[in-house]
């Protein structure tokens, strides 16, 4: 089987729905044990029930990744549950869109805190475990918006551009310890995050996508699965767009 992950342990943040849940499903289908972390406790319970029902070994932990103590506790809980951590998928993310002149300081800060600081705190805690094991995969979910900017998303674009810079820096720091660090940059994917866009915005966006459709969460999950696998052992510090050709 391609992208075999038997006995690998994967921690996925924001794993209760959307891209995070699809990623958990795909990694689980390749044999990985799953540890879901999210702020949404009920969502986590339901997601874990679905995955366990499909014979994927799944545990979960409720935490806010933007809190460094809770990030550390998530990694500790994963290691105490499964005795190791091989794959971290930093997927939890939020949007608080507004034009820059009207953006509230709180909305600037919360997006930076969750998307960028949260990814860093999780990577920091996971890296200590992976460095000791001399192996590991960190996969950060960035966005094409971090590469090309987007009106109304200065906070989100800054957070995702930050994730890309962090990815490359961690890749350089951790390479000698056998840990690879990469980012996936989705374009517009059908999840609750994009459901809120108006019909007009969706139509306008569609015109800019060469493949003329939105992506599906599983199409992002496949790329995460590849980066998590042995087949991707020689890839680090890269940003892989999954965007129907939006950025080229
Ligand atoms: P989603 O459906 O909104 O799911 C995000 C999940 O993360 C939710 O379950 C959310 O819980 C959780 N979360 C939010 N803040 C958290 C925190 N502080 N700690 C732990 N969990 C938290 O989003 P999605 O569309 O699947 O997006 C997943 C990732 O892909 C995000 O990083 C996003 O920026 C990125 N991305 C998405 C798209 C797209 O088109 N959908 C495009 C590019 C990049 P609550 O809802 O309870 O807050």
204 or 83: whose pLDDT is higher? Answer: 83
Nearest CA to ligand 1 atom 10: 14
Q: Tell me, what's the pLDDT at 173?
A: 98
The residue-averaged pLDDT of 125-133 equals 98
pLDDT averaged over every residue in the chain: 97
- Helix, strand or coil for residue 245? coil
Q: Tell me, what's the pLDDT at 169?
A: 99
121 is catalytic: no
User: How many Cβ atoms sit within 10 Å of the Cβ of residue 95?
Assistant: 18
- Helix, strand or coil for residue 60? strand
Give the C-alpha separation, 189 to 112, whole Å: 21
- DSSP annotation of 244 reads T
Question: Of all residues in the chain, what percent carry a pLDDT higher than 90?
Answer: 94
The residue-averaged pLDDT of 44-58 equals 97
Contacts of 160 (CB under 8 A, 6+ apart): 115, 142, 143, 145, 146, 185
Per-residue pLDDT tens digits for 14-24:
999 999 999 99
Per-residue pLDDT tens digits for 90-110:
999 999 999 999 999 999 999
Q: Tell me, what's the pLDDT at 197?
A: 85
pTM here is 0.98
Residue from 142, 161, 145 nearest 153 by CA: 145
How do the domains of the chain map onto residue ranges? 9-239
The CB of 118 under 6 Å from ligand 1? The reply is yes
The CB of 167 under 6 Å from ligand 1? The reply is no
Helix (H) or strand (E) holding 186: strand 179-186
Per-residue pLDDT tens digits for 6-48:
999 999 999 999 999 999 999 999 999 999 999 999 999 999 9
pLDDT at 3 over 90: yes
Architecture of domain 9-239: 3-Layer(aba) Sandwich (3.40)
Per-residue pLDDT tens digits for 108-118:
999 999 999 99
Strands 9-13 and 33-38: parallel
pLDDT at 196 over 90: no
pLDDT at 57 over 90: yes
The residue-averaged pLDDT of 113-127 equals 99
User: How many Cβ atoms sit within 10 Å of the Cβ of residue 110?
Assistant: 16
Q: Tell me, what's the pLDDT at 209?
A: 97
pLDDT at 1 over 90: no
CA of 38 to the centre of ligand 1 (A): 9
Q: Tell me, what's the pLDDT at 84?
A: 98
pLDDT at 198 over 90: no
Q: What angle do CA 178, 26, 227 make, to 5 degrees?
A: 30
CA of 142 to the centre of ligand 1 (A): 11
CA of 47 to the centre of ligand 1 (A): 14
């Amino acid at each position: 089987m391609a992208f075999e992950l038997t006995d690998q342990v994967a921690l996925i943040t924001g794993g209760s729905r959307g891209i995070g849940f699809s990623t958990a499903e795909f990694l689980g289908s390749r044999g990985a044990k799953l540890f879901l972390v999210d702020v949404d406790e009920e969502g986590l319970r339901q997601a874990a029930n679905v995955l366990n029902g499909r014979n994927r070994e799944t545990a979960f932990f409720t935490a806010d990744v933007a809190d460094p103590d809770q990030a550390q506790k998530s990694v500790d809980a994963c290691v105490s549950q499964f005795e190791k951590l091989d794959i971290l998928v930093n997927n939890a993310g939020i949007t608080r869109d507004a034009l820059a002149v009207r953006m509230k300081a709180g909305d600037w800060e919360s997006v930076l805190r969750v998307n960028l600081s949260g990814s860093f705190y999780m990577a920091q805690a996971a890296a200590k475990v992976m460095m000791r094991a001399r192996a590991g995969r960190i996969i950060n979910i960035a966005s094409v918006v971090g590469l090309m900017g987007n009106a109304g998303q200065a906070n989100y674009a800054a957070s995702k551009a930050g994730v890309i810079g962090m990815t490359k820096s961690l890749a350089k720091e951790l390479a000698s310890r056998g840990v690879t660090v990469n980012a996936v940059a989705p374009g517009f994917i059908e999840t609750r995050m994009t459901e809120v866009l108006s019909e007009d915005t969706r139509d306008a966006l569609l015109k800019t996508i060469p493949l003329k459709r939105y992506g599906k969460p599983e199409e992002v999950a496949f790329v995460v699965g590849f980066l998590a696998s042995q087949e991707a052992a020689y890839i680090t510090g890269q940003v892989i767009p999954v965007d129907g050709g939006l950025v080229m």
